[in-house]
Structure 1
Amino acid sequence: MNRKKIIITLCLLTLSFFAEAQDRDTEQIEQLKIAFFTEKLNLSAKEAVRFWPVYNLHNKRYEELRDKEWSTIKSKLEIIETLSQKEAEVLLDNYMSYKQAGVDYREDFVKNLKEVITSKQIMMLKKAEYDFNKKLLKQYQSDKSSNE
């Protein structure tokens, strides 16, 4: 019985260690993103104070939308061959609704951003997001290949 408790405790400690390490990595990526975007958009202190809450809210909501899409649409794609024509039609309608919601959401996001930064900065943001993700992926691939 004592042995089981020790094993369970060790497992929980290990899991919490990995979760904490992942949280640290996520936090570090967020800090790098903030620095990268602030520099690329050439945000003043005043603009940054107004920009980040809008951007962070957008990211949170967009992530929720993607998660919802993933759970309802993409999981069904695994069993698409077994769906009836009617079920596939409902799935397609749901898919198109999510895509439209994404477009509507982006339009709303841009409208909110225009109250904080210029149109040029919004386009610079799109480029900065692309460049940051590319840089992050390159770093991940580099780290992965050096660990092999």
Structure 2
Amino acid sequence: MINKTLYIVSLTLLFFVQSVVVHAQHDKSDRWEKFRAEKVSFLTDKLDLTPEEAQSFWPVYNKMEKERMDAQMARRELEKQVRDAGETMSDKEIIKLTREFAQKMDEEGTLATKYNEQFLKILPPQKVLKMYKAEGEFRMYMFRKYRDQREGETKKD
């Protein structure tokens, strides 16, 4: 009897945890899609791309964004390793970790250089400069929006 009850409770708990995880992943995916859509709209508005420019620009920009995100995630993982590194690490381990960290930073810079050249082949230089400005403006817009939402939530409490 106890085994059957334990089994049912365990199974119920497993389904509950699984549904929470799936819901959290779905929420994260929805937020990411909303963020992406807002960014595309923001950049499209700021860059004033012609249809021909947009057709060439967006596939390259999306590829850059993916590569940049992958590089940033890898760097963040190394940042975590650096933060968690203890004094018990050998000099050899520390050297390896610091070199990997520097390499990841270098990769991000190489990506920026690579894609800058591609954008200059697609867009007039003025629009490439506008793109960089618009990305910065979008980041500031999102920071303000997030801050305002957080302040709104604390006022409700």
Corresponding position of 1:137: 143
Corresponding position of 1:49: 55
- Alpha-carbon shift at residue 86 of structure 1 (Å): 4.1
- Alpha-carbon shift at residue 44 of structure 1 (Å): 1.5
- Alpha-carbon shift at residue 144 of structure 1 (Å): 1.5
Corresponding position of 1:124: 130
- Structure 2 regions of 5+ residues with no counterpart? 1-6
- Structure 1 regions of 5+ residues with no counterpart? none
Corresponding position of 2:75: 69
CA distances 1:16-59 after superposition (whole Å, capped 9, x unpaired): 12221221111011111111000101112221121111011011
C-alpha contact 1:73 1:94 (8 A) present in aligned 2: no
For 2:107, the aligned partner's letter is A
Give the alignment of 1:82-121 within 5 angstroms. 82-121=88-127
Matched, 1:58 2:58: no
Q: Percent identity?
A: 19
CA distances 1:83-126 after superposition (whole Å, capped 9, x unpaired): 44444333333333222222222111111111211211111111
Call closer, same or farther: CA 1:96–1:4 in 2, change over 3 Å.
Answer: closer
C-alpha contact 1:73 1:91 (8 A) present in aligned 2: no
Question: 2:19 pairs with 8, 13, 16, which one?
Answer: 13
Q: TM-score, normalised by structure 2?
A: 0.82
- Alpha-carbon shift at residue 74 of structure 1 (Å): 4.1
**Counterparts of 2:69 and 2:49 in 1: how far apart (Å)?**
24
Runs of 4+ in 1 over 6 A off after TM superposition: none
**Counterparts of 1:114 and 1:137 in 2: how far apart (Å)?**
29
**Counterparts of 1:10 and 1:80 in 2: how far apart (Å)?**
37
